[in-house]
A and B are shown apart, each in its own frame.
Chain A
Amino acid sequence: QKEVEQNSGPLSVPEGAIASLNCTYSDRGSQSFFWYRQYSGKSPELIMSIYSNGDKEDGRFTAQLNKASQYVSLLIRDSQPSDSATYLCAVTGGSYIPTFGRGTSLIVHP
């Protein structure tokens, strides 16, 4: 059973702070890693993808991957109230099917 685990939260951070979201996965054969943002009542929106160990930065977002530890994280710098949403971690391996975690709820308060 391939599993993707996330802390359900909510994670509450003040505006302007760094939000750190974490995800672990069980399938060592996983090759592709994604972060999605889902606002209430909306569908998931892709915000970051990462395929190799290390960091990948895109604007205020940084994805970090450590395959040895089977760990992927998302950092959001200068958090804004508009970042308040559920963040879903997804992992794809040899089955070519993205497996999703249940998501972490992020609340950014002014």
Chain B
Amino acid sequence: GAGVSQSPSNKVTEKGKDVELRCDPISGHTALYWYRQSLGQGLEFLIYFQGNSAPDKSGLPSDRFSAERTGGSVSTLTIQRTQQEDSAVYLCASSSQGLNEAFFGQGTRLTVV
């Protein structure tokens, strides 16, 4: 595809349920990032992938959050036992190399009710 694709665009889930968010980066991009943006707030870094490995997962807020990347391409962010404070827009970005330009997907708006 031409750009970064995220799915679903919107997700409403009940508190305590698990959710999976998907990111399909630009073809050939080795670096992939997950960020979170709460309403009216800045971008909060969650995790960085280089290929299939995650050199930096320091931004994950708790052990309820995990992410993986397979085949150097698609990444999945999983949130277990969702809480209301997890409600935010989850953004994925990819880059051809770590110092190069990063391009964002359209985001997944997660609402925990």
Chain A residues in the interface with B (C-beta under 8 A): 31-32, 34, 36, 42-46, 49, 88, 90, 92, 95-103
On chain A, the residues within 8 Å of B107 by CB distance are: 43
Please, could you name 11 A-B residue pairs with CB atoms under 8 Å apart, sorted by A? A34-B102, A44-B43, A45-B104, A88-B43, A95-B48, A96-B48, A97-B48, A101-B42, A102-B41, A102-B42, A103-B42
B100 x A32 contact (CB < 8 A): yes
Secondary structure class of chain B's binding surface, majority of residues: strand
A34 x B101 contact (CB < 8 A): yes
**Interface residues contributed by chain B, number (CB under 8 Å):** 25
A43 x B100 contact (CB < 8 A): no
Most B CB atoms within 10 A — which of A95, A98, A100? Answer: A98
Complex: chain A residue closest to B50, CB-CB: A96
Contact string, B75-112, partner A, CB cutoff 8 A, digits 1/0?
Answer: 00000000000000101010001111111111100000
Partner of A96, one of B43, B93, B99: B99
Chain B residues in the interface with A (C-beta under 8 A): 31, 33, 35, 41-43, 45, 48, 50, 55-56, 89, 91, 93, 97-107
On chain B, the residues within 8 Å of A97 by CB distance are: 33, 45, 48, 56, 98
On chain B, the residues within 8 Å of A34 by CB distance are: 101-102
On chain A, the residues within 8 Å of B91 by CB distance are: 43-44
Q: Chain A's nearest CB lies how many Å from the CB of B105?
A: 6
4 smallest CB-CB distances across A and B, nearest first, come from A96-B98, A102-B42, A100-B43, A43-B104
- In the assembled complex, the Cα of A35 lies from the Cα of B94 at a distance in Å of 16
- In the assembled complex, the Cα of A32 lies from the Cα of B99 at a distance in Å of 6
Partner of B45, one of A31, A42, A99, A101: A99
A100 x B42 contact (CB < 8 A): yes
On chain B, the residues within 8 Å of A46 by CB distance are: 101-104
